[in-house]
Amino acid sequence: MENTTKKGGISVQTEHIFPVIKKWLYSEKDIFLREIVSNAADAVTKLRRLASLGQYDAGEETYRIDVILDKDAKTLTVSDNGIGMTEEEVERYICQIALSGALEFVEKYEGDNQQSGIIGHFGLGFYSAFMVSDKVEVITRSYTGAPAVHWVCSSDGSYESAPGEREEHGTSVIMHISEEEAEYLDKYKIENILEKYCAFMPVEIYFRAEEEETDAKDKPKDEKAEEQKEPEAPKPINDTTPLWLKNPSDCTPEEYKEFYRKVFHDYREPLFWIHINADYPLNFRGILYFPKITNEYESIEGQVKLYYNQVFVADNIKEVIPEYLLMLKGVLDCPELPLNVSRSYLQNNTYVSKVSAHIVKKVADKLNSLCNTAREEYEKVWNDIRTFVEYACMRDRKFYDRVKDSLLLQLTDGSYVTPAAYLESAKDTHENTVYYTTDQAAQAQYIAMFTAQGIPVAVFDKQLDTQFVSMVENYNSDVKYLRIDADVAGALKGEGETADQPELSALFVKVSGNDKLKVQFAPLKDESVPVLLTISEESRRMDEMMKLYAMNGMGTGSTFPTEATLTVNTKNALIAKLGEMEEDKREKTATVLYQLALLSQRKLTAEELQSFLSNSYGVLGML
């Protein structure tokens, strides 16, 4: 190569290329460092490939990338010992190919006032350096032994190319940080960017910040001596073989947990994980975690990080994960996706939709596997994942069909059964009916009555449960879910007279203050219970829905469904005596009985509580 300097202009065809690049190339300016380091990693990967093909003798070479921050010089340098470039290649790849991409980029985005979720465009990774620099230098030498090249370009697009000085093959990109982007001369800022975007790149990356002279002068002598005594060997800032690249059989539970802590900085252990290793035609890998949620009101939005060949692309690209599985945390490495990818591309890409469908299948397979082969472990985490699974089932019928045999019902005694097992055991007493409680304390009396008759009661104490069972009933029209206070089950009824007693009916309607109250008489096996108040399942669900959407505006304390039924136990001694009492005593006693039944359904209002106490004291005073 002749010892001459060549000059040119990147912006010959348009004077607006660099201003547009600075403003619109990426929605996040920090990405410039990912692009430059990625290029360095690609350069090493290419040289490794040539070595594997026998076209280059690597010998004992070890490959690395160095990121060097010099605050005094106001430079940030990314250097590699990869394939390097000849003068011709610099001219072709930096000055021509990138130029054509730049022109296309400007044509599409110049004057566009909306970033619209742009992640990257047109393979312009190298020129992202100009987002933060007013000058960029490239010093490169090809692995072929061709002379080194020194290329310099200013932010107005004019460049010079001349012979350079570099002993080893590889490339150094020296970015002269502009005054307005001085934040990129901060050591901790660069460390954070590298940790976010480059933590798993396939080539070891070393970062160092050249100390300012003033910092060294200000240090006490003993600190300087200590540093000299114990110099630490430099360590790469990245893990070149992340866990998702390994075979699942080679990974230990502790490795999965440690990876989770490292990536998500979550001190709580994940409930379980799914290691995906999909080959042709999908070709993607990843690890997805079910996170531990402290309570149901905690934010359940997860975080799935998208990678391209170990290069970080974006945090939580929702287009790759079905909306109903967004509580998952994890990483997905999809080499079939371009590094510079837009959200519109993801939304309309068949590969992405197939990846999404595969993830759904793997999640369902994991749930089924845990239920069938690790039942004890599955039961321990069921309450933590129940809301997630129910929501997924409600959003995707196919997902429900895949996991329906692995859904669990927690019973009031703390045990777990599948819905199929519950219904099998119910054939003789309450066929095709699942009884449940939403509040074990408030509905304790009902639970005791059902338990005494050997009828198991499921616990549905989550906000989503009622909507979920409505969906299950739609899918399985023969199965009915009833709250234990929705009806007096046939198994609770004993033998004896069930004739109506009009006067007693009228009395209970009067003291209830609800002229639509239905009163029925039945002998109950539990003779100690004088009356039971039940509300039809349909009426209560409608009431809950209205509360959920704030349609009634009456407040939860005073709202009560009108379709209520009071079952009077004809086997109860107090009911038998009620008809013999004097009118005043009978009315006070009936009022207390109704209010006790009401207490099993909801909290009393302030007015009702005052009336209840007054009537109770009155009844006690008559003893």
Residue 454 belongs to a domain with what CATH number? 3.40.50.11260
pLDDT of residue 301: 67
Using the CB atoms, write b or e for 107-136: b if 16+ within 10 Å. Answer: eebeeeeeeeebbbbbbbbbbbbbbbbbbb
Name the average pLDDT for the chain. Answer: 83
Termini Cα distance of the chain: 117
In the structure, what pLDDT confidence band is assigned to residue 473 with cuts at 50, 70 and 90? very high
Cis-peptide, bond into residue 281, ω within 30° of zero: yes
Q: Does residue 235 form part of some domain? A: no
Query: Could you identify the residue written with the tokens 């059902």?
Result: 450
Residue 17 and residue 101 in one domain: yes
Displacement of CA 171 from its chain's centroid (Å): 39
The one-letter amino acid code at 175 reads: M
Give the number of C-alpha atoms closer than 13 A to the C-alpha of residue 609, restricted to the C-beta side. 7
Are 480 and 564 members of one domain? no
**Encoded amino acid at 286, one letter:** G
Residues 106 and 44 in one domain: yes
Q: Does residue 513 lie in a domain region?
A: yes
Residue 14 has pLDDT above 60, yes or no: no
Task: Decide if 566 contacts 519 (C-beta within 8 A).
Answer: yes
Are 486 and 547 members of one domain?
A: no
Reported as type and span, the H/E element at residue 78 is: strand 75-80
**What does the alpha-carbon distance between residue 240 and residue 242 come to, in Å, rounded to a whole number?**
6
Q: What's the number of domains the chain is made of? A: 4
What is the structure's pLDDT at 221? 57
Q: Which are the contacts of 187, defined by CB distance < 8 A and separation ≥ 6?
A: 69, 71, 209
Query: Please, which pLDDT band fits residue 231 given cuts at 50, 70 and 90?
Result: low
Residue 68 corresponds to which amino acid?
I
CB 303 within 8 A of CB 316: yes
**pLDDT reading at 74 higher than 70:** yes
For every residue of 558-618, which 3-state class applies, written as one string? CCCCCCEEEEEECCCHHHHHHCCCCHHHHHHHHHHHHHHHHHCCCCCCHHHHHHHHHHHHH
Which residue's entry shows tokens 């660099």? 18
Is 233 inside any structural domain? no
Q: Which of 491, 522, 549 is the last residue of a domain?
A: 491
State mean pLDDT over 432-457: 90
Assigned domain for 67 exists: yes
- Percent of the chain exceeding pLDDT 70 equals 82
Mapped onto helix, strand or coil, the DSSP state of residue 69 is strand
Range of the domain at 558: 493-623
Q: Is the pLDDT of residue 497 over 70?
A: no
What are the angstrom distances between the C-alpha of 403 and each of 6, 461, 566? 67, 21, 39
In a domain, 318, yes or no: yes
SS3 619: helix
Pairing of β 303-308 and β 329-333: parallel
pLDDT in tens, 240-286: 999 999 999 999 999 999 999 999 988 889 999 999 999 888 899 99
Q: Which of 461, 491, 521 is the last residue of a domain?
A: 491
Residue 592 has pLDDT above 50, yes or no: yes
What percent of the chain stands above pLDDT 90? Answer: 40
The reply to whether 228 falls in a domain is no
Q: How far apart are CA 458 and CA 447, in angstroms?
A: 10
Domain boundary among 491, 524, 539: 491
Statement to judge: residues 427 and 379 lie in one domain: no
From 412, 464, 467, select the one nearest 440 (Cα to Cα). 412
CATH code of the domain in which 207 resides: 3.30.565.10
Q: Domain check: are 145 and 200 in the same one? A: yes
Greater confidence (603 vs 297) lies with 603
302: CATH: 3.30.230.80
Bridge partners of 208? 68
The rounded distance, in Å, linking the Cα atoms of 285 and 278 is: 6
**In this structure, are 70 and 13 located in the same domain?**
yes
The amino acid at 447? I
Closest listed residue to residue 164, CA positions, set 94, 90, 96: 90
Give alpha helix (H) positions in 408-493. Answer: 419-425, 444-452, 465-475
The reply to whether 332 and 199 lie within a common domain is no
Q: Residue 169 has what DSSP assignment?
A: S
Residue 219: C-alpha distances to residues 3, 208, 213, 215, 227 (Å): 46, 19, 10, 7, 11
Contact (Cβ atoms closer than 8 angstroms) between residue 98 and residue 123: yes
Which pTM does this prediction carry?
Answer: 0.78
Q: CA 226 to CA 246: how far, in whole Å? A: 40
- Decide if 608 is inside a domain: yes
pLDDT single digits (tens) 23-61 = 655 667 898 999 899 989 989 998 998 998 899 998 889
Question: What's phi and psi for 375, nearest 5 deg?
Answer: -60, -40
Q: What are phi and psi of 308, to 5 degrees?
A: -125, 110
